[in-house]
Amino acid sequence: MGNIMATIQSPKRIIVEDFAKQDRPMAEKLSGSLNLFMDEVYQVLSKNLNTTDNLNRDLKTIKVNVNASGIPNSNVQFQNTLKTKISGMVVIRAFNAIPTTAPFITYTENAGIVTINQVSGLVANTDYQLLIEIIGD
Distance CA 4, CA 44 (A): 20
pLDDT of residue 52: 66
pLDDT tens track for 17-70: 999 999 999 999 999 999 999 998 888 887 777 766 778 899 999 999 999 999
pLDDT of residue 82: 93
Q: Work out the pLDDT band at 3, boundaries 50, 70, 90.
A: low
